[in-house]
Amino acid sequence: MTTAPQETVRRLRAGVIGLGWAGQQHVAAYAADPTVDLVALSAMEDHLLARFGDAHDVPGRFQDWQQMLAEAELDVVSIATPTFLHATMAAAALEAGLHVITEKPMAQNAEAASGMVEAARSAGRVLDVSFNHRQRGDVTALKDVVDSGVLGTLYYAKTGWIRRQGIPGLGTWFTKAESSGGGAMMDIGIHMLDMTLHLMGEPAVTAASASTHAEFGPLGRGGSGFGVSQVEEGTPFEVEDLATAFLRLDGGGTMLLESSWAQWIPEDLCYVTLYGADGGATIEWGGSPGNHKITVWTEVAGIPAELQPVVGEDGRHAAAVANFLQKVRSGDWAAHDGSLALRRAEVIDACYASARAGAEVRVGG
């Protein structure tokens, strides 16, 4: 008796542009995948090229990312550079025939993000964005609960990420309006927006009413060593350090979204609370590592019940990269053109427009 030969998965040649913290996670994900050859890295910093090139035996090391795209013969590339560079780099990589995953946020505004989607469609290649927090074990567990129908129809959500002290680099690209596109809402609020819409089954956001504040950054308070690069000359803080938004959802649902880089609270706090017709649920984490809580409230046979779903391991960046590679290997590239991430960018744009106008703004209007 003979068995059919197993189909061989074609190895993909991968490269990474940008070797800050996020780029290092992509490097580790590719290096750990037995079906991928990590063949090229690009960064301005010689010491990072040497460190990660030597650690993973990467043959191609380039300070010029365009040279890497031209010479490394890649199939896929990760872009983990400052936000304002994403659109230009992604378009060039897509036009070169590569599949692309960028770090979040997708781009500094929806206009730039739209250009990336157009480039993906024109090239017929995958464009993905790494929303790594939706790969958390508690988020995955809660998604299973929602999909099971236990909560019934979801009609309201509250979500937020508030840091005690976490402005990522006063005076760097993070806090410059043109290079970052925004402050706390753009940087960490978009994680909570993505996570919550994902949990709710992707309802369209139709309108936003938002407000922004900058009370810490302009005074030099709330700074964090995380994400710091060389401090640039000029205005050190041009964005918000706190933003709140009330979002209207297609079908009549609503969401409250808040994000802050620095605030007078005891410890960092992240949360998502879902309200359904048949039950409610929350995930919350902050403070000490591993301090994660997930709880579901419903009723069983007419008796109020509190459920504790089983939570698996966090996937984070490794899972985001694995999902990207799965999309590439699926061959259904047209279905993965970055449109979902573009919708996130349109919501963030509407929030900032609402804050400037002091009035509700239609999303995409």
pLDDT tens figures, 96-124: 999 999 999 999 999 999 999 999 999 99
CATH assignment at residue 329: 3.40.50.720
Q: In this predicted model, what pLDDT tens digit does every residue of 189-206 receive, in sequence order? A: 999 999 999 999 999 999
pLDDT digits (tens, 9 = 90+) for 7-55: 567 899 999 999 999 999 999 999 999 999 999 999 999 999 999 999 9
Q: Decide if 349 is inside a domain.
A: no
What's the CATH code of the domain at 161?
3.30.360.10
pLDDT band at 5 (very low <50, low <70, confident <90, very high): very low
- CA 192 to mean position of chain CA atoms: 9
Q: Give the model confidence (pLDDT) of 305-341 as tens digits.
A: 999 999 988 888 999 999 999 999 999 999 999 999 9
Q: Are residues 213 and 276 in the same domain?
A: yes
274, 330: one domain: no
Please check whether residues 200 and 280 belong to one and the same domain: yes
Phi first, then psi: what are they for 171, rounded to 5°?
90, -5
Residue 343 has pLDDT above 50, yes or no: yes
Query: Which domain does 101 fall in, by range?
Result: 12-133+320-337
Exposure string over 232-258, b if 16+ CB within 10 A, otherwise e: eeeebbbbbbbbbbbbbbeeebebebb
pLDDT at 172: 83
Residue 35 and residue 118 in one domain: yes
Shared-domain flag, residues 141 and 278: yes
Is there a single domain that holds both residue 162 and residue 308?
A: yes
User: What phi-psi label fits residue 187: left (phi over 0), alpha (psi between -120 and 50 degrees) or beta?
Assistant: alpha
Same domain membership, residue 152 and residue 39: no
Query: Do residue 27 and residue 88 come from a single domain?
Result: yes
Residue 243, helix vs strand vs coil: strand
| Number of domains making up the chain | 2
In a domain, 342, yes or no: no
- Mean pLDDT over each residue of the chain, to the nearest integer: 92
Task: Using alpha carbons, select from 130, 131, 143, 132 the residue that is nearest to residue 294.
Answer: 143
> Is residue 288 very low, low, confident or very high in pLDDT (cuts 50, 70, 90)?
low
The pLDDT confidence band at residue 295, using thresholds 50, 70 and 90, is very high
Average pLDDT over residues 214-225: 85
The model carries a pTM of: 0.93
SS3 for 99-164 is: EEEEECCCCCCHHHHHHHHHHHHHHCCCEEEECHHHHCHHHHHHHHHHHHCCCCCEEEEEEEEECC
What is the per-residue pLDDT for 315?
Answer: 87
pLDDT over 60 at 232, yes or no: no
Q: What is the mean pLDDT of residues 210-238?
A: 75
pLDDT of residue 313: 87
Question: How much is the pLDDT for 182?
Answer: 95
For residues 184 and 119, membership in a common domain is answered with: no
* Average pLDDT of the segment spanning 157-183: 90
Assign 4 a pLDDT band (cuts: 50, 70, 90): very low
Same domain, 224 and 325: no
Examine the pLDDT at 212 and tell me if it is beyond 90: yes
pLDDT tens readout for residues 78-97 = 999 999 999 999 999 999 99
Q: How many CB atoms within 10 Å of residue 303? A: 7
Note the pLDDT of residue 137. Answer: 92
Report pLDDT for 233: 55
Expressed in angstroms, the distance from the first to the final Cα of the chain is: 64
**Rounded CA separation 171/150 (Å):** 47
Is position 123 within any domain? yes
Question: Same structural domain for residues 118 and 161?
Answer: no
